């Protein structure tokens, strides 16, 4: 499976996805095939995905979407699930601080 979509399948406001460097890339690069993925395999896969994201013209839009929509899986905007969760916890802590 590759990351593609028909223009009529895109919700409004998601036009940025059409410009992503990931377009046409196997989704397995960005999303774990299952929960039993070995750590070393996961690290290599995530590194490959982040390399694709590195120079993406819509990295900011992708990352903003992932953080706003609280995407729980995959590499979005060059960030893993763990990195997004960590950032979310930091933001929550800063908002709740007296």
**Cα(52)–Cα(37) distance, rounded to whole angstroms?**
21
- Asked, for residue 56, whether it belongs to a domain, the answer is yes
**Cα(1)–Cα(14) distance, rounded to whole angstroms?**
20
List, for residues 7-49, the tens digit of each pLDDT value: 444 445 778 889 999 999 999 999 998 878 999 999 999 999 9
List, for residues 44-92, the tens digit of each pLDDT value: 999 999 999 999 999 999 999 999 999 999 999 999 999 999 987 666 4
Please report, in range form, the residues annotated as the binding site. Answer: 22, 53, 56, 62
CA 22, distance to chain mean position in Å, is 10
Nearest to 50 by CA among 21, 92, 23: 21
Q: Model's pTM, two decimal places?
A: 0.76
Please report, in range form, the residues annotated as the binding site for [4Fe-4S] cluster. Answer: 22, 53, 56, 62
Contact 56, 97 (CB under 8 A): no
Split into its structural domains, the chain has a count of 1
Q: Quote the domain boundaries for residue 26.
A: 7-96
- Asked, for residue 31, whether it belongs to a domain, the answer is yes
- Asked, for residue 67, whether it belongs to a domain, the answer is yes
Question: Helices 59-68 and 81-96 sit at what angle, rounded to 10 degrees?
Answer: 60
């Amino acid at each position: 499976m590759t990351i593609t979509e028909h223009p009529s399948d895109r919700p409004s406001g998601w036009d940025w996805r059409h410009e992503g460097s990931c377009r046409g890339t196997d989704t397995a690069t960005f999303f774990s095939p299952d929960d039993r993925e070995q750590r070393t395999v996961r690290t290599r896969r995530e590194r490959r995905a982040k390399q694709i994201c590195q120079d993406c013209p819509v990295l900011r839009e992708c990352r903003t979407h992932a953080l706003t929509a609280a995407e729980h899986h995959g590499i979005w905007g060059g960030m893993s699930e763990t990195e997004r969760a960590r950032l979310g916890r930091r933001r929550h802590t800063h908002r709740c601080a007296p």
